[in-house]
Amino acid sequence: MTLMRRPSPFSELLTLRQAMDRLFDDTVFRPFGYSQGELARLSLDVRSTADALFIEAELPGVKPEDVDITVENGTLTIRAEDRTEQSAEEGDYLVREISHGSVMRTVTLPTGLEPDRAEATFEHGVLRLRIPKAEQVKPRQIQIKPVTIGHAATVEPGQPTAKPEA
């Protein structure tokens, strides 16, 4: 009797995984590459509070004077350039992920902001931008007037009872 060994379906998965790893390591999926002279994409964190919009961008190796922030027609643009000198070292890179050169990001801002009152700080390679919201778009609390016997009453702070309005 001859025993036939069937190939395991899981052995195919390992090859598929290796193929996917190679596919995602390919430069096709890195349109904003890491090489010198290309414009890289700048990663941002954007969050909104009741009072302002906060934006954080990591710019390691960039000096504050090499960062340009503009707001025009509701669009925020952050552009930065790493002007450090590249040393010509011998050997071929096996992995090269440290970006050098220019980075840029453009974001459409929500309405109701006051970009003229924006504040920016730059510390330890992190750019922090605060754009305050306009007063008319900030949330407001509406107070409820209690109604007693068909008439609106005003409640004075610190008094337990309401005085009917005349």
Asked if residue 157 is part of any domain, the answer here is: no
**Total domains, the chain:** 1
Q: What is the pLDDT along the chain (166 residues), one digit of tens a residue?
A: 566 666 666 655 556 666 776 666 544 444 444 444 445 678 899 999 989 999 999 998 889 999 999 999 889 999 998 877 666 677 887 887 776 778 888 899 988 899 999 999 999 989 999 999 988 877 778 888 888 776 655 556 655 555 555 5
Asked if residue 55 is part of any domain, the answer here is: yes
Asked if residue 155 is part of any domain, the answer here is: no
Sequence-ordered strand ranges (E) for the chain: 40-41, 44-48, 52-58, 67-72, 75-82, 101-108, 119-123, 126-132, 147-148, 151-154, 163-164
CATH code, domain carrying 42: 2.60.40.790
pTM comes to 0.57
Asked if residue 163 is part of any domain, the answer here is: no
Asked if residue 117 is part of any domain, the answer here is: yes
Asked if residue 92 is part of any domain, the answer here is: no
CA distances from 75 to 42, 48, 64, 117, 132 (A): 15, 16, 21, 15, 15
Asked if residue 105 is part of any domain, the answer here is: yes
Between CA 129 and CA 103 the distance in angstroms is 17
| pLDDT recorded at residue 126 | 93
Domain that residue 41 falls in: 36-85+97-148
CA distances from 164 to 144, 150, 154, 157 (A): 15, 10, 7, 15
Strands 67-72 and 147-148: what pairing?
Answer: unpaired
Between CA 59 and CA 82 the distance in angstroms is 9
Asked if residue 115 is part of any domain, the answer here is: yes
> Of the candidates 65, 98, 62, 97, which has an alpha carbon nearest to the alpha carbon of residue 82?
62
| pLDDT recorded at residue 118 | 94
